[in-house]
Amino acid sequence: MRHVTIAVAVLVAAATAASAGFAASSSHRTYTTPGTQPLRTAMFDPWHLNTPEAFSMTRGAGAQYVRLLVYWSLVAPANPSATFDPTNPTSPGYNWTGIDTRVEEAQAEGLTPILDITGTPSWAYAKAPSDGNGGSPQTAAIRDFAQALATHYDGEGVDAQDVIIPAVNIYEVWNEPNLSLDFGPVNAASYRSVVNAVADSVHAVDSQNLVVAGGLDPFAHKKSKKQKWYSVAPLAFMRSLLCLSKGAHPHTTCSNQIHFDVWSHHPYTFGGAFAKAKVTDDVELGDLPRMRNLLQAAVKLNRVVSDNPVQFWVSEFSWDTKPPRSGAAPVSLAARWTAESLYQAWRSGVSLFAWFGLEDQPGSSQYKNGLYFHAASLENARAKPVFTAFRFPFVAYLKKKSVTIWGRDATSTKVRVTLQLRHGKSGKWRTVAYDMANSNGIFRATVKLKATKKDWLRAVAPGSGKSLAFSLTVPKDPNIGPWGK
């Protein structure tokens, strides 16, 4: 990590100096980006996010949030005593040590935790696990646990060493509830009851707490004799959950409401960042506007109850790379797709985007989706080009007599971004324009510029360094999926 930190510092210093040098020139036009919604980034990695170094690397990747799984079955007692009070976080039997440590380490690095509740204790099932089904929790039991969880992290309690337990304000309800392996049998009405139970408790502790629902698997899978598990297409599951009909102008189909503040999705995609699903009601990156429209219809028809404007998030996404995985997207293409994925999500109304995988998993694991290649230790891990694309995303597309650009600087603050052009793969970079990012670090413009498909553009900003070079030649998107062909 020392080497990464030094390298980033050198890049930042160089970018700052370069920006200062360019400031003397007045021959280039400065564009100004008006206010927009933000694009905050997050990290989700159930294997590596358990050490201070991992959280430091996450912050170094520009992330502001971190999604942490809270295994209810590990926090709660395996066999509750007769005196156990599941609503009281100090009741004997609860063990918060593991999750407390991760929350404290994340916050020490300036990261905001998103606590995702999962893992039903054996005594709290409404439907027990079976072949292909992960089971589902009792509504009353998860309501009690959510009260204990939110109370534990209300910022007023102290641990055994009289240290104040940090406050947490974001709680996600389960992972991929449209997938039977996670929430089975899949039933939108049952999941609605679970979400409402969690929301009732979490909001009762603090009305400003946020409840995240959804986190859906993007694909429908049918059950078969060989494959016992299954999943329901996300838009079909969503319509059932929100009591909405099909069609461009949905109407209500039942009187039930659901209480949440954020809707999230996992839009894993085949064929590049703008590709759309080939199966009706599946939702890949290119289909995010359809999901956003359905969410907005639900809000307008009062199917969703929230005291805040309802947000739209991507709480899990990534691309495997080659190397190390044969059949995955080459590292350079995966890097381009990463920047484009952030752009596509943002323009679809997404305000938070979580990457799945800080470091590649070793051996034969399918998860070669990290921002870093696998190494014997995290401090020796080498960053992929995807790291830079995630930290400082930048895209550029050739138009007639102009180039449209979009990006978000790594600091997510208002800075002047220098836009540079290079002819060919080995030409010299020259400044062609500037863009004042808005207060969320978003910059976009249609730059009047004589350019060709052989040209490349990049962005340079104080505190961010240099983005990856982005080719104005649009590559053919092979039908490569998030985990390879």
DSSP 352: E
Q: Across the strands, what pairs with 355?
A: 43, 317
* Whole-angstrom distance, CA of residue 148 vs CA of residue 151: 5
The tens place of each residue's pLDDT in the chain, 485 residues long, gives 334 444 444 344 444 444 433 343 458 999 999 999 999 999 999 999 999 999 999 999 999 999 999 999 999 999 999 999 999 999 999 999 999 999 999 999 999 999 999 999 999 999 999 999 999 999 999 999 999 999 999 999 887 777 899 999 999 999 999 999 999 999 999 999 999 999 999 999 999 999 999 999 999 999 988 899 999 999 999 999 999 999 989 999 999 999 999 999 999 999 999 999 999 999 999 999 999 999 999 999 999 999 999 999 999 999 999 999 999 999 999 999 999 999 999 999 999 999 999 999 999 999 999 999 999 999 999 999 999 999 999 999 999 999 999 999 999 999 999 999 999 988 899 999 999 999 999 999 999 999 999 999 999 999 999 999 999 999 987 889 998 87
Residue ranges per structural domain of the chain: 2-31+394-471, 64-317
CATH architecture type of domain 2-31+394-471: Sandwich (2.60)
Which stretches of 248-388 are assigned E, i.e. beta strand?
Answer: 258-259, 262-265, 304-305, 311-317, 321-322, 329-330, 352-356
The listed CATH number (3.40.50, 1.10.3470, 1.25.40, 3.20.20) that belongs to domain 64-317: 3.20.20
pLDDT computed for residue 14 by the predictor = 43
- Which of 194, 32, 44, 47 is CA-nearest to residue 125? 194
Determine the Cα–Cα distance for residues 412 and 8; give it in Å rounded to an integer. 16
- DSSP string over 140-182: HHHHHHHHHHHHHTSS--B-TTSPBPPP--EEEE-S-TTBTTT
Q: Give the predicted TM-score (pTM) of the model.
A: 0.93
Q: Do domains 2-31+394-471 and 64-317 have the same CATH topology?
A: no
Write the CA distances from 392 to 136, 176, 186, 284, 302, integer angstroms: 40, 29, 38, 23, 37
